[in-house]
Amino acid sequence: MKSLAILIPTYNESFTIVDQLKKLEIFKKSSQDEISVLVIDDNSPDGTADLVDNLQLSWVKVLRRPNKAGLGAAYRAGFAMVLADSSYTHIVTMDADGSHRVEDLPLLIAAIRPGKSITLGTRWMPGGRVLNWPKGRQWLSKTGTKYAKLALKIDLNDLTGGYRIYSTELLNALNLKTMQATGYCFQIEMAMAADLAGAVATEVPITFVERINGVSKMTKSIVIEALIQITRWGVVRRLRPNADK
């Protein structure tokens, strides 16, 4: 039996977080594994953290952060809190807005490999789908992954996807404090670090559903950050092929 902590970063997700937690509660009741949730809130003005606390779910905790500091910073704070408890075997990362379907979670869990492992919910592979995304957004995601694959020499089909399961054995082997990516580039940094650490990577096709409520966090600055960071990491990996994260 596995013990999984699901990390859900939030910023103004009061319209979506309750529904996502209700779906996770249904899954938890049917699962043979131990499931808990950590909502990592960056001081949402809409009261997301208070809303979650008021649900009084014993298996859900809220990590309140003082301000909005980016996706990467939120996840690193969540990792640190969960890894302090040695009872967890795996950490799941997923969005609060419903784009990462709870229905796909059993498939991800079933695909977990022993030891240092990363299991990736993948949109751009046979069986994977994206719903309600405009063609331009799909092109941006596919192109970003293709560029990252080429620059970093990592043979994965969805390096920017955030629906993942990391083994705590892998996360404990990484120097998470040295990581700096703040936006969605964090997903690429984690995939690269896992690759450098020799983790077993497994891709599972998922259906990604674009959010209906709330506002997307994707901005031009996030795209620029990713382009610059990937290029920098790619150069380092070629000049210093034995460099270890």
Q: CA–CA separation, 162 vs 165, rounded Å? A: 9
Q: Is residue 245 part of a domain?
A: no
Report CA-CA distances (Å) from 204 to 106, 143, 156, 185.
11, 20, 11, 20
Query: Pick from 26, 32, 23: which is nearest to 4 by CA?
Result: 32
Q: For residue 44, give both structure tokens.
A: 């949402």
**pLDDT tier for residue 95 given thresholds of 50, 70 and 90:** very high
The strand ranges marked E within the chain are: 3-10, 34-41, 60-64, 90-93, 117-122, 129-131, 164-167, 200-205, 207-209
**What domain range includes position 17?**
3-239
Which pTM does this prediction carry? 0.88
The CATH number for 190's domain is: 3.90.550.10
Count other C-beta atoms under 10 Å from residue 135's C-beta: 7
Q: Is residue 50 part of a domain?
A: yes
Q: CA–CA separation, 46 vs 100, rounded Å? A: 22
pLDDT at 173: 97
Burial 122-131 (b: 16+ CB within 10 A, else e): bbbeeebebe
Report CA-CA distances (Å) from 178 to 1, 15, 153, 172, 244.
32, 34, 21, 13, 12
Q: CA–CA separation, 153 vs 208, rounded Å? A: 25
pLDDT in tens, 35-87: 999 999 999 999 999 999 999 999 999 999 999 988 999 999 999 999 999 99
pLDDT in tens, 112-144: 999 999 999 999 999 999 998 888 888 888 888
- Report how many domains make up the chain: 1
pLDDT in tens, 145-169: 888 888 888 999 999 899 999 999 9
Q: Is residue 244 part of a domain?
A: no
pLDDT in tens, 185-219: 899 999 999 999 999 999 999 999 986 655 555 56
Q: CA–CA separation, 66 vs 239, rounded Å? A: 39
Question: Per mean pLDDT, which range of 23-37, 96-110, 203-217, 227-241 is the poorest?
Answer: 227-241
Q: Is residue 226 part of a domain?
A: yes
